[in-house]
A and B are shown apart, each in its own frame.
Chain A
Amino acid sequence: MRMWIYVVRRIALLIPVLVGVMTITFALVSAIPTSERIASYYPANPRSNPSSPTIACPSNPSLQCPNPAYKVAVHALKLDQPIPVQWGYYIYNALTFHWGFVSQTSTVGKGYGGLPALKGDAVTSVLAAFLPYTLELALLSLFFVLIISIPLGNLAAVNRNRPIDQGARVMSFSGYALPGFILGSLVLMAAALWLAGGKATSPICTNSTAFLEFYGSWPSPNCWMWGPGLTSYGYPTWLINTYQSTPTGFPTIDALIHGDGWLALDTLVRIVLPALVIAYGTIALLLRFVRNSMLEVMNLDYVRTARAKGLPESRVIKKHAGRNSLNVTITVLGLTFAFFLSGFPVIESVFNLYGVGRIFAFSLVQSGGTFDFGLIFGTTILFTYLVVAANIIVDILYAYLDPRVRLG
């Protein structure tokens, strides 16, 4: 069938999947008590507190009267309607990005101090503000994954069962079997020790104020902790004032736009280590896949013909087997993306980065054991959208490259 018919069909299949995902999250959200849902999904109102059903009676403070603001909030959130109606409103809100507000009791954002509490802000704007940081991390990790796994997998396939292959196999196993946060913690400790050596000064520290303006990824080598332009905990000013860097929202690009080369380098350096840790785990999964598909191609007839014609081996590999690599690359991209999305909360927490995953992690550890439901479910739906979008893009790319997929 024609290409656009395939695309339309593929996108049409997306709707029931999205509705199904929303239904699952709806079922889980419905389990939350009403008062907490109001705290999470109703905009903050400084005049009255709508999230408790009763308040001290104005006429007699020792009595509890029904809270009119509570009833208003319940009605506004449609929580007094029958379940199917609620489901309909929920699906509509989820698809139109009305995902509620950061809980009024939330302390999300107050990491080691100094960040503004984000309470009362819309969930979508919070996620949109922190998403670029995660995307920077994802792109850098993707870059590392691509430049390492595909050449290494090809090498391993070509030198089958020789030391390179065995080494790649060991790397694959070790990356797969080590939990991300443990590898991250060990790397972090090694880096901090190397940089600061537990002492107050080290050869790496500089006194440049631009270089010092940013605190973030690594627990302190002392030199990066204090300095002008920092708050007492060393967070950058853009994170304090508006939690969004201007104008694009991507910290590295914005630093370059502002002409601050040191800051841009600093931002980049802070995400190199986490990107490497993420890439290591992902490469472990994909290396065997790349190697096996390369092996399959090398046994095909047309490669055998090329060899029989007398072509040198290097040319056989480059010209004939190498054509397969586009297909492999796209599959690698698709699998990588889905794997990434699950791992970011952990890595961002370990390396003290401020992306969507970190916000998610914060919203899970509110004091008193409560959670910030708006952010939790908002992040889940956002990541689901991203996974679904990535799958569709990969499928369409496949269909473009391989006509058999379109016709099937």
Chain B
Amino acid sequence: MIAQVPTGRGRWRARLDDLKRTWYFFRRNTLAMVGLAILLFFAAVFIYGYVYPAPSTSAVNYCATDGPPPGLCSPTAPIVCTYPQGSASPGPGCYQTPANFNNFIPPTFSLSPLALGPLPFGSLVAPDAGGTAVDQGHFFNLYDLLVKGTDWSITISVSIVVTGAVIGLVLGAMAGYYGGLIDEVLMRLTDIFLSIPGILLIIVIVIAGREVGIGGFTDDVILVTLAFIVTWWPTYTRIVRSQSLVVREQKYVEAARASGAGNGRILRKHVIPNSVFPVFIQMSLDVGTVPLVLAAIAYLGFIIFPSQLIPEWGSVAAASTDVIPSLFQYCSTVSGACVIPWWQILFPGIALFLFAISVNLLADGLRDALDPRLRR
């Protein structure tokens, strides 16, 4: 019996019913719903970050003094009142920081009336704008950075993943469908790119790009994005190719060819749409992985914060861990309390962690919900 293929308006009805069934299966998976909830939270922060003021040196660099202002800072900078351990509080709302670490402020909600806003995630003491030494004269509000960083991280990783997927779809479908020389050449090419470890390839591309002269504010972000795309496209190409190898043997492709469809049309209408599913799953996994790789690269020195005030999560996490070795060296040679700014490492790490986990759970749940064998 030949199944009736709905046409016209009935086609959209059928698709809607399909979506509803998918949602039903998805809903029954608790972990996937948790992932979806976290991801919706990040989406809300994304929108909030869009209207959030950009971190700028004058507004964000709080100047801590050892007593009520005026202190050592310019009068226009907002001033937060801190005082070292062992001395008396100069006023209400001033809070105590360990000796010699004036700006390492743990998460707190109460500040002096002269300050602007609480520090729910604590402060971030980062290398100064030149990136050379830990600048203890200024600090950032970690909350600002993480909110704005959501925007940057999500935008960068989505653009990388989407571009890589598009390239992979086009090239992989052609390679799998046409076969022969195109297939061989493309397979060798992906082999070559996959033989170089990912992080190293990204780093050498960024280096070469900087030497050629691409550098500066947004150029740096674009350069890093391009480096990622060059590293990521082989994965998608391979996935699409193996899928299209299966698709091209199907009966409907044969039928389309028999009814006179050209190769281009078959690729567009049959091969590519049927290869989208594994690509989609890989895309959703990669959106979570890319910020982690960005963090690793930032840790190795390709940091775009704070020199350019792009508080992408990875860069913020890397800037916050930079301060640890010099702290330990300092701590070991002086007596007295030693502060370890656990908050400035933990919170960016939590952001990355939650994002990656939620995306992973969502992708898992989608894959299970769309799997025909489980939809009985």
Would A31 and B332 be within 8 Å (CB), given that A345-B199, A364-B301 are in contact?
no
Would A342 and B204 be within 8 Å (CB), given that A177-B357, A179-B352 are in contact?
no
The 3 closest A-B pairs by CB, nearest first: A219-B328, A20-B192, A177-B356
Distance of B215 from chain A, by nearest CB (Å): 9
B166 at interface by CB-CB < 8 Å: no
Q: Enumerate chain B interface residues (CB-CB to A < 8 A).
A: 188-189, 191-193, 195-201, 203-205, 207-209, 211-212, 288, 292, 295-296, 299-302, 314, 317-318, 321, 324-325, 328-329, 331-332, 335, 337-338, 340, 342, 345-346, 348-349, 352-354, 356-357, 360-361
Chain B residues near A16: list those with CB within 8 A: 188
Distance of B350 from chain A, by nearest CB (Å): 9
Query: Is B340's CB under 8 angstroms from A193's CB?
Result: yes
How far is it, in angstroms, between the C-alpha of A133 and the C-alpha of B331 when the chains are bound?
Answer: 28
Contact-size category for A: 35 or more
Closest residue on chain A to residue B346 by CB atoms? A186
Distance of A243 from chain B, by nearest CB (Å): 21
Offer 21 A-B interface pairs, CB within 8 angstroms, sorted by A.
Answer: A20-B188, A28-B205, A31-B211, A32-B208, A174-B353, A176-B360, A177-B292, A179-B292, A186-B349, A189-B340, A193-B340, A198-B338, A198-B340, A219-B328, A338-B197, A341-B197, A342-B197, A361-B301, A376-B207, A380-B197, A387-B197
Query: Is A346's CB under 8 angstroms from B189's CB?
Result: no
Query: Is A346's CB under 8 angstroms from B299's CB?
Result: yes
Query: Is B296's CB under 8 angstroms from A181's CB?
Result: yes
Q: Enumerate chain A interface residues (CB-CB to B < 8 A).
A: 16-17, 20-21, 24-25, 27-29, 31-33, 36, 112, 173-174, 176-183, 185-186, 188-189, 192-193, 196, 198, 200, 219-222, 225, 338, 341-343, 345-346, 349-350, 352, 360-361, 364-365, 371, 373, 376-377, 379-380, 383-384, 387-388, 391
Closest residue on chain B to residue A364 by CB atoms? B301
Closest residue on chain B to residue A380 by CB atoms? B200
Would A32 and B338 be within 8 Å (CB), given that A173-B361, A346-B296, A380-B200 are in contact?
no
Closest residue on chain B to residue A340 by CB atoms? B197
Distance of A219 from chain B, by nearest CB (Å): 3
Query: Is A21's CB under 8 angstroms from B196's CB?
Result: yes
Chain A residues near B342: list those with CB within 8 A: 186, 189
How far is it, in angstroms, between the C-alpha of A401 and the C-alpha of B208 when the chains are bound?
Answer: 43
Chain A residues near B193: list those with CB within 8 A: 24
Chain B residues near A391: list those with CB within 8 A: 195
How far is it, in angstroms, between the C-alpha of A177 and the C-alpha of B325 when the chains are bound?
Answer: 24
Chain A residues near B198: list those with CB within 8 A: 342
How far is it, in angstroms, between the C-alpha of A376 and the C-alpha of B299 when the chains are bound?
Answer: 16
How far is it, in angstroms, between the C-alpha of A219 and the C-alpha of B299 when the chains are bound?
Answer: 18
Query: Is B357's CB under 8 angstroms from A185's CB?
Result: no
Chain B residues near A388: list those with CB within 8 A: 195
How far is it, in angstroms, between the C-alpha of A342 and the C-alpha of B231 when the chains are bound?
Answer: 13
